[in-house]
Amino acid sequence: MDIFLQQILNGLVLGSVYALVALGYTMVYGILGLINFAHGEVVMVGALVSLSVIEVLLGANLGIPAPLVGVMALVVAISVCMALGFSIERVAYRPLRRAPRLAPLITAIGVSILLQTVAMLIWGRRYHTVPALIPPTPHTFAGATITNVQILIIVVSALIMAGLMGLVHFTRLGRAMRATAENPVVAGLMGVNINRIISATFVIGSALAAIAGVLVSSNYGIAHYYMGFVLGLKAFTAAVLGGIGNLPGAMLGGLLLGLIESLGAGYVGDLTGGFLGSHYQDVFAFLVLIMVLVFRPTGLLGERVSERA
Amino acid sequence: MNTRDLSVHLKTLVVGVAAAMALALAGCGKKDEAIKIGHAGPLTGPVAHLGKDNENGVRLALDEANAAGVTIGGQKATFSMQSEDDQADPKQGPIVAQKLVDAKVAGVIGHLNSGTTIPASKIYHDAGLAQISPSATNVTYTHQGFKTAFRVMANDAQQGKVLGDYAVHKLGAKNIAIIDDRSAYGQGLADEFEKAAKAAGGQIVTREFTGTDKTDFNAILTSIKGKNADLIFYGGMDSQAGPMMKQIKNLGISSKFLTGDGGQTAEFLKLAGDAGEGAYASSPGVPLDKMPGGKAFADKYKAKFNIEIQLYAPYAYDSANVLLEAMKKADSTDPAKYLPILAGITFQGVTGNIAFDENGDIKGGSISLYQAKGGKWEYLDTIGG
């Protein structure tokens, strides 16, 4: 039973990260109808930038306490990613706003590859070790172990998701975002500056991506130029699972996908009597996605895409 | 444009292209006197540090040969290296192999991973090109009946057997969990280990699997935790083994950790950090300071490249030198002439005596065991040889 609890905890940690990244995908899709494939790469940039800042600060031996170094690295990573998200939108997606749907899609893939290559040129091809700023002391309760960093991931993700919901539902910016998501043309007629709102969406999504990148690289202690690709793909899957365009859906989808992957990897061997091993965990996760979409094509909580008259 | 115009245009095009090609080919001519030695290994990706290490070993050997002045076939020979990146990807291995064959290299040192070496070996065999691998340990590589495939270190049949025996008899493990990364190397080594461990009387409580690109092992490690294994064996590379050790410690698992030569590197110690303390690993051959030419080689390497040796550089160095020696003895860079010489050669390398058996495996290979202590690999024992 304690193993089951441990797998649940593993799944929640994994899922919190997926949820943070899925929110970025879902917000952009809800407003623009565009799958921002470059989003996973923004996560990667956030992780590598924070790593560089940490290395510089620790190397300069300024006597700054470790948690403060972490916070500073996080702030720099968030700023860089926000600027990156803003630039990607302006340079790659805005000119294609009126183009047929395929064009921005291919552009997004192109931006993704571009970012991976630039990262490879800047940070090299090796796996980088991320120094542990928070000592990963494991805490045990009810037979399950969880480290400080993992607790931090779950708590930070939960707070951010709550904050985002608050932003979207209780502020003017949030109201403008919801209006744009519902119908951009009419929102524009009502005095909403569509371009600003879309930029704000990308910027917020990229900030979340930066936080996710820092958390992931701290948890596994590794960062490298290719880490964003699979993570982005899985986060997008999570967004679709929960209902694309739907913020609570992205959160639910993320957490659910993390849990399914964790439980799948842990139990699929036992369930199939050793016929299928734990390396089928991805297959398991995607099978669940297919089943959900077959019976509920709009995802678990229903999709919310803007009306395009 | 009617059909007649089209056929005229087409003819002009064909003639034009043929002329251009003739010019290009004439340009190629006999300008290149340097003998190209091919090297293939992962220069990008998780084990790029090991691929670069091999490349450096070959480069050192070729530079020394050029400096010493070698005569082959009555002409002064200069060697150059053509190094290709196979990304440790089994799909990329044959592509890179074909590229080297088309570039008409005289011989190939490569690849690094068994997963790329085995498919590539078919290409080299079909082209009649000699291939010496400094690090591929999977048994299949030399058991395909190819007279072109050689390796300078012991294979996984031996390594798995030594590991299995060691786990049960020396480390006293009764319940063993095995994880592998589903690559040709990882899976092959894990299978050999399982056979040997069972034969020695150990119980395998579970077999789990992961992938060469995964960094999260919490789910399978949690599953292993529930099965109360007293030893975890991992068949795979250091870029996974390192994070795996971290996650093992984080989950509060107290089992011993044993891995093969893929994890016996400085990079593993770096990636695992404090969590790597106490891990066991094996490596074919003997430690650098016990090799006949080990210390001298380490100094030369450090002086030239300004970094420490990762793992297989001495073997890459020896592979290149034994290839050159075969060419010198046969007085030719034609594989058809020097392959038979290579098959029967006896050569004193920095790693020890190199002679190949009828399969292309090294004769008298040995396996050494190490334990991570205080951030360094401490030598324990050598078996075989």
Q: 3-class SS at B253?
A: coil
Strands B107-110 and B376-384: unpaired
In angstroms, rounded to a whole number, what is the distance separating the alpha carbons of residues A19 and B115? Answer: 35
Residues contacting residue A169 through CB under 8 Å, at least 6 positions apart: A178
- DSSP state string for B81-128: EEEEE-TT-TTHHHHHHHHHHHTT-SEEEE-SSHHHHHHHHHHHHHHT
- Do residues A24 and A206 lie in contact, with contact meaning Cβ atoms separated by under 8 Å? yes
For chain B, what percent of residues have pLDDT higher than 90?
A: 58
Kind plus residue range of the DSSP H or E element containing B348: strand B347-349
Chain A residue with CA closest to B225: the answer is A3
> Tell me, what's the pLDDT at B112?
93
Q: Answer yes or no: do B219 and A140 touch at CB < 8 A.
A: no
Q: Answer yes or no: do B208 and A269 touch at CB < 8 A.
A: yes
Instruction: Write out the residues of chain B at the interface with chain A, using a CB-CB cutoff of 8 A.
Output: 43-46, 48-49, 182, 206-211, 213, 215-216, 218-220, 222-223, 225-226, 239, 243, 246, 249-252, 270-271, 273
Q: Answer yes or no: do A266 and B220 touch at CB < 8 A.
A: yes
Chain A CB contacts of B273 under 8 Å are 129, 132, 221
- Do residues B275 and B283 lie in contact, with contact meaning Cβ atoms separated by under 8 Å? no
Kind plus residue range of the DSSP H or E element containing B178: strand B175-180
> Tell me, what's the pLDDT at A309?
42
A41 touches chain B (CB under 8 A): no
User: For B84, what's the count of Cα atoms within 13 Å in the CB-facing half-sphere?
Assistant: 25
Does the structure show a pLDDT above 70 at A113?
yes
Q: Answer yes or no: do B209 and A277 touch at CB < 8 A.
A: yes
A143 touches chain B (CB under 8 A): no
> Tell me, what's the pLDDT at B51?
92
* Segment A184-228, tens digit of pLDDT: 889 999 999 999 999 999 999 999 999 999 999 998 888 988 889
Does the structure show a pLDDT above 70 at B31?
no
Cβ neighbourhood burial of B18 (10 Å; 0-12, 13-18, 19+): exposed
> Tell me, what's the pLDDT at B26?
53
Does the structure show a pLDDT above 90 at B365?
no
- Number of residues assigned to chain A: 309
- Do residues A25 and A39 lie in contact, with contact meaning Cβ atoms separated by under 8 Å? yes
**Residue B174 confidence class, pLDDT cut points 50, 70, 90:** very high
A72-86, A128-142, A240-254, B41-55: range with lowest mean pLDDT: A128-142
**Residue B288 confidence class, pLDDT cut points 50, 70, 90:** confident
Q: Answer yes or no: do B223 and A266 touch at CB < 8 A.
A: yes
Number of other CB atoms surrounding residue B145 within 10 Å: 9
**Residue B3 confidence class, pLDDT cut points 50, 70, 90:** low
Angle of the B238-250 helix axis to the B218-226 helix axis, nearest 10? 50
Strands B280-284 and B256-259: parallel
Tokens of A196: 């600003």
Return the closest-CA partner of residue B123 out of B160, B90, B154, B158. Answer: B90
A3 touches chain B (CB under 8 A): yes
> Tell me, what's the pLDDT at B5?
65
Name the E strands within A123-228.
Answer: 128-129, 138-141, 144-147, 222-223
d(CA A5, nearest CA chain B) in Å: 10
Q: 3-class SS at B312?
A: coil
Query: Which long-range CB contacts under 8 A does B21-30 form with residues at least 24 apart?
Result: none
Does the structure show a pLDDT above 70 at A157?
yes
Q: 3-class SS at B75?
A: strand
**Residue A17 confidence class, pLDDT cut points 50, 70, 90:** very high
The whole-chain average pLDDT of chain B stands at 88
Chain A CB contacts of B223 under 8 Å are 3, 7, 265-267, 269-270, 278
> Tell me, what's the pLDDT at A303?
77
Residue found by looking up tokens 């306490």 in the block? A65
* Segment A165-188, tens digit of pLDDT: 999 999 999 999 999 988 888 999
Q: Answer yes or no: do B273 and A125 touch at CB < 8 A.
A: no
φ/ψ bin of A221: left (φ > 0), alpha (ψ from -120 to 50), beta (otherwise):
left
For chain B, what percent of residues have pLDDT higher than 70?
A: 93
- Do residues A85 and A202 lie in contact, with contact meaning Cβ atoms separated by under 8 Å? yes
Strands B376-384 and B366-373: antiparallel
* Segment B250-274, tens digit of pLDDT: 888 999 999 999 999 988 998 898 8
Identify which of B48, B213, B226 has the shortest CB distance to residue A126. Answer: B48
Q: Answer yes or no: do A278 and B223 touch at CB < 8 A.
A: yes
Return the closest-CA partner of residue B266 out of B249, B233, B241. Answer: B241
> Tell me, what's the pLDDT at B173?
92
A183 touches chain B (CB under 8 A): no
φ/ψ of B73, rounded to 5, equals 60, 30
> Mapped to the 3 state alphabet, what secondary structure does A220-289 carry?
HCEECCCHHHHHHHHHHHHHHHHCCCCHHHHHHHHHHHHHHHHHHHHHHHHHCCCCCCHHHHHHHHHHHH
Q: Report chain B's terminal Cα–Cα distance, integer Å.
A: 77
Strands A222-223 and B35-41: unpaired
Name the E strands within A164-261.
Answer: 222-223
In angstroms, rounded to a whole number, what is the distance separating the alpha carbons of residues A265 and A281? Answer: 5
Identify which of B207, B219, B222 has the shortest CB distance to residue A277. Answer: B207
> Tell me, what's the pLDDT at B18?
67
* Segment A250-303, tens digit of pLDDT: 999 999 999 998 888 888 777 777 677 777 777 877 888 888 889 988 888 887
- Do residues B159 and B177 lie in contact, with contact meaning Cβ atoms separated by under 8 Å? no
Tokens of B200: 């020695």
- DSSP state string for B64-79: HHHHH-EEETTEEE-E
Cβ neighbourhood burial of B122 (10 Å; 0-12, 13-18, 19+): middle
The residue type of B312 is Y
> Tell me, what's the pLDDT at B29?
44
Chain B CB contacts of A230 under 8 Å are 213
Which of A54-58, A198-202, B26-30 is the most confident on average? A198-202
> Tell me, what's the pLDDT at B19?
66
Identify which of A222, A270, A279 has the shortest CB distance to residue B243. Answer: A222
Does the structure show a pLDDT above 80 at B343?
yes
Residue found by looking up tokens 């392959």 in the block? B339
* pTM, rounded to two decimals: 0.82
